[in-house]
Amino acid sequence: MQTTSATANHSRPPLRHSLLRRASRASSRAFTLIEILIVLAIGAMIVGLAVANFGGLFSGAKVDVARIFVTSSIQVPLETYRMHVGNYPSTTEGLQALVTTPSDKADRWRGPYLQGDINTVLIDPWKNSYQYRFPGTHNPNGYDIWSKGPDGQDGTPDDIGNWSTTNPNAIPGMPATQ
């Protein structure tokens, strides 16, 4: 029997062996049902953890919103009021003086100093009114403004105020950064 150069140099395995080799390669590349179930279980655990921590994400944002309000957002309206009227609103007048004219200061008041609905602007993220005191106990030459924080109780560690607990040399009368 005479062989050609093509068959002499390249011997072909029997057809049966090549089909088995292809089948074994295909099965090694595919995922088993167990592997798919494990991936789905891990994915479900990740989603469960994310949903469980979702509330914590927003509670942190509420603290940040309250802190920004008491240290920054309210500062310009109060300073503008002080420049026009001569002093910050009294504790009795409260933050309402930024929106409605105090009766004894009508000739100097040029407000309103806050824009928006008064029923929402002066309400903290936990639906409580922001607290205000002038002169302040933490800022004796200025004002104290604070939120009662998540627990809604005044004088507790979660209160968020414009006084600095880390810088006792903060400028009196000006809200200090935390």
Q: What is the per-residue pLDDT across 31-72, written as a single tens digit (0 to 9) for each?
A: 787 877 788 778 777 777 666 555 555 556 888 888 988 888
Task: Specify the higher pLDDT residue, 95 or 20.
Answer: 95
Task: Specify the higher pLDDT residue, 153 or 13.
Answer: 153
Q: Where are the domains of the chain?
A: 63-161
What are the start-end ranges of the H helices in 30-74? 33-68
Kindly report, residue by residue over 89-113, the tens digit of the pLDDT: 999 998 888 888 888 888 888 888 8
Instruction: Tell me the mean pLDDT in the region 129-157.
Output: 90
Task: Specify the higher pLDDT residue, 95 or 19.
Answer: 95
**Burial per residue of 66-100, b for 16 or more beta-carbon CB atoms within 10 angstroms, e otherwise:** bbebbbeebbebbeebbeebeebbeeebbbebbbe
Do the Cβ atoms of 169 and 63 come closer than 8 Å?
no
Task: Specify the higher pLDDT residue, 38 or 131.
Answer: 131
Confidence label for 132 from pLDDT (cuts 50, 70 and 90) = very high
In this prediction, residue 24 carries a pLDDT of: 58
> CATH: 3.40.640.10, 3.30.700.10, 3.40.50.1820, 3.30.930.10. Which one for 63-161?
3.30.700.10
Instruction: Tell me the mean pLDDT in the region 19-25.
Output: 59
In this prediction, residue 147 carries a pLDDT of: 92
From CA 58, how far away is CA 139, in angstroms rounded?
A: 30
Whether pTM > 0.75 for this model: the answer is: no
From CA 152, how far away is CA 140, in angstroms rounded?
A: 24
Query: How many percent of the chain have pLDDT more than 70?
Result: 68
In this prediction, residue 144 carries a pLDDT of: 93
